[in-house]
Structure 1
Amino acid sequence: MYQILIVDDEVHTVEGIYSGVDWDKLGITTVFKAYTVRSAKQHFEQERIDIMLCDIEMPQATGLELAEWVKERYPETKTIFLTCHADFKYAKQALQLGSLDYILKPVPFRELEKVIEKAKATIHKESEIVQYSQFWIQNQPMIIERFWQDILNQSILSNAKAISRAAADRNIPYFDEMVFIPVLISLQRWHKPVNLRDEKILEYGLKNSAEEVLFESRQDRLLITLNNRRMLAILAVQGNNAPSSELEAACQRYIDACSHYFYCDISCYVGEKVHGHEMLEMVTKLYEMERNNVAFNNSVLLLSRPQVHSSHSQSADMQLWSVMLKEDKFDEVWTEAKQYLERIEKEKLNADTLNRFYQDFQQMMHYVLQTKGIHAHQLFGDPHSKEIDANAIRSVTYLMEWMRHIVTKAKEYVLTLQQSQSVVDKVKELIKLRISEDLSREEIANHVFLNPDHLTRIFKKETGMAMWDYLFQERMQLAQELLAKSDMPISAVASHIGYANFSHFSRTFKKHTTMNPNEYRQLNRHK
């Protein structure tokens, strides 16, 4: 069932074509006539026009202008141009407007019939592709999702034959001519802490919202869940009809909704039109866009509109910051570093420049802490610090959060260290808590994030004795109390204060008190 429109300002030309072509034989059910561009546009607004036969030279507006109008609003319509002039300029313009053919007047009817048959075949093929695109997404979502995942993880080779064969093996209707646009959706960060259960629930909501806002109930689109908080939307498009501005606007609406309802930052990376065997390469490019987007949150970034990155930016003055840290100017260094990152133009930041800054800043912090006798890897070895460190180079936002964390924690510990009594108290507390264990000097030093020599100097300065003398004194004091105030067997007392050998304990105790453990117990019980 096809409908055709003949547009020509010469009435006899229109009537001649209308009378000279066997429309029933061609399967054309309705033939409309228009003698002006204005009249032609009215037909389009009121009827479905499958094929347009259009004269190029007309008063008021040319057929080329009409074709451009039709292409913009009714891209499914196939246009065949008619003209009296065999001018290459016209032919070139006609081809640029996507016309199906270019026929010289007077119109040879046999030739026109062949071109109309060609137009019908093109319409049928495109319609079939669209129907199949809708069918395989609507009826086989699980199979289709696995199909695309296998392409992306290279279980299916990225060549046209391999993909067509894989589709056929899975009973998936697929044509090499099918065209898609991929959109990578990346969750950048949550605005508040979430546990694993809450995160799964929120991600389910994000997926449902993407299907509702991006797809708008259309059946020619598919959403795939990827790893690392990513999703991939695959949109089937027809021919040159690539919804760039509409898609960009839909992505921004989705981002705004996620920020408002799900308390998170999300960015969308929109690819270009590809065939199935080109999908892996295109998605790889989107991954690279995501990796290099360290400066923009809640943004829609188009591959067709690339960001210009430059490595020529003023380097951070790490040497000055290092001197400031040695002088305990932690807050000032944090402010300087934050302002430095804010001063750099966002377009000049990418993953590599951010990573270099991160490495240099970390090296500086570790060096300064080392000069203060602090084990940086111990100080920042807690789970929270590790989690912040793991995300540091994902974005400027995360990097600032990491810098603030390590600078603040280092500052607090250095201040604690300067109040050396609190460090000594921690050592004493550890010795009391683990007095029965064979503690090493390194183990005690690690507990307070200091190297052993530095801790030994601090401890002796504050207490007037070495740590081992203090440990021995505490053990003997506890042994005396247990012998005098309890019925605990002497072997158990020895074990409780860290002596596995009973004889060694007796000799050591007698050397310390001039009595063996049994004599000490008897004397103190008598008292």
Structure 2
Amino acid sequence: MYKIVIADDEDNVREGIRESLNWDELGFGVVGVFENGREVIQAMEQLQPDVVLTDINMPFMDGLEVSRYLFEHYPHTKIIILTGYDEFEYAQEALKLKVHDYILKPNTADELHEILSKVKADLDDENRKVEDLSKLKQQLRESLPLVRERFLNQLVTGNIRGGKLEDKLAYLDIDLSLSRSHYVVAVIDVDDHGELQRFYPESESELLYFAVCNISLEIIAREKNGIVFQNNSEKTIVILYGENVETLREEALRILEEINLSVKEYLRFTVSIGVGDICTSLNKIHLSHKRASTALEYRFFLGKNRIIHISDIEGELDESIPYDKLWERKLVLGLKSGTQHEIEVIVENIIKNLKESYLPMDRCYIHIQQIIVSIMDALEELDIREALHNSAALSPLTVIYGLKTLDEVEVWLKSYCSRTTNIILETRNNFCKMQAMKAEEYIKENYADTKISMDAVCKYLVLSTSYFSLIFKNHTGETFISYLTRIRVEKSKELLKCTDLKTYEIADRVGYTDPHYFNLIFKKAMGMTPTEYRRMM
């Protein structure tokens, strides 16, 4: 329901208008009826009408003066002029004052009804626009933090398009005045993403990343010299500003150290912080951010829980040592024939060399992958088909990307090499055992052959005599000759006990062509001659 006031110095006109229309049906409520313009002006503040229907010719203050006052002080109020003057100058003046409509006296109720219906439609349309605008403003207020964060991410990545930067900062209420002379960006990242995801549900781990940002925000808000937000990778970005380089550098170090210690104290985990170069223009802030991100990558070499300044790193790069691929070949040889300790020493030297090389992080990952591929090739050469991981597990070639530092890579690579060594050793042991068992079977089937020899067994097994001697002794605890002699003596004992064969015949049956030599071998093994042994049976 809209509010309307009526102003006319003639009683019959005022009452006629008031009584001739169904105001509820029109959507209006008459909140005031006045004799002159002065009374209208005096009632405006209290009544706040939406429409003023006023005669032009009234005492004290006429309708045009009322319209002029409303135009200046209540511009949203609709004015309808009611007059008996059909004069051009009145219509012209009314248009200047943005009078909504102009009605000549005398008029009918239908004419007033039609005009007021149009006014109501216009009011409805304006209210819808105001309501839509209010909704948009509310949505903007609700989404402003997201819009602000998106803008800041574009700012630090150099993706701001068009428009004045100062205007955008002001519109989003971002306290980064272009008048400040020095800026620096720091990128804060949680060190153990994997550990957090293992111990906390995904929703809670996201809250922990936000907690890092919130701690940083509280510290920066207290200092009043920067802003804080999160990027799309849940890293916390800090932009600090100051009047000169030295002061800003000192303040940045103090604040970032406080953030680092506060996270460790309150959240019970650590973060690493990369710090970029100080720049002299907000338009170059993306360069500082890029350098801060690069500095953070050196956590891979330096370890966790550190504040890493890109300017400090560049001094160390001048003293870097080239990576030596010879260590990869040494590792593969060590896996095939070295001890666990020797392998661990080689891994330590590989990691030490990578740290000293200061290669880009992606290059380091490639070198580690090459080591893994070399180990896989070595297993393939040894005809070991069993992989170190099942099909459901992640490939070691991708697992390494979850390792944040070379220290973590060292621990993982030692474990991987240890498992590889165990597989090689187990496979070799199985192979040796199988070969020794084949040799035993061959000997038991061919002991009666006078031409049987270690060379013959090795030829059968396709093994060298030295290697065969080693694995056979390890498996049986006896040399080839000792084992063959024992089998022949055992068989001769059975023949002495169960047959009436002569000694020389038994000697021939168990592979001895010389009965005398057989007697010596038997007596050495049993402490008596074959004849004496038969008598005892």
| Structure 1 length-normalised TM | 0.45
Larger Rg: 2
Larger helix percent:
2
The TM-score normalised by the length of structure 2 is 0.45
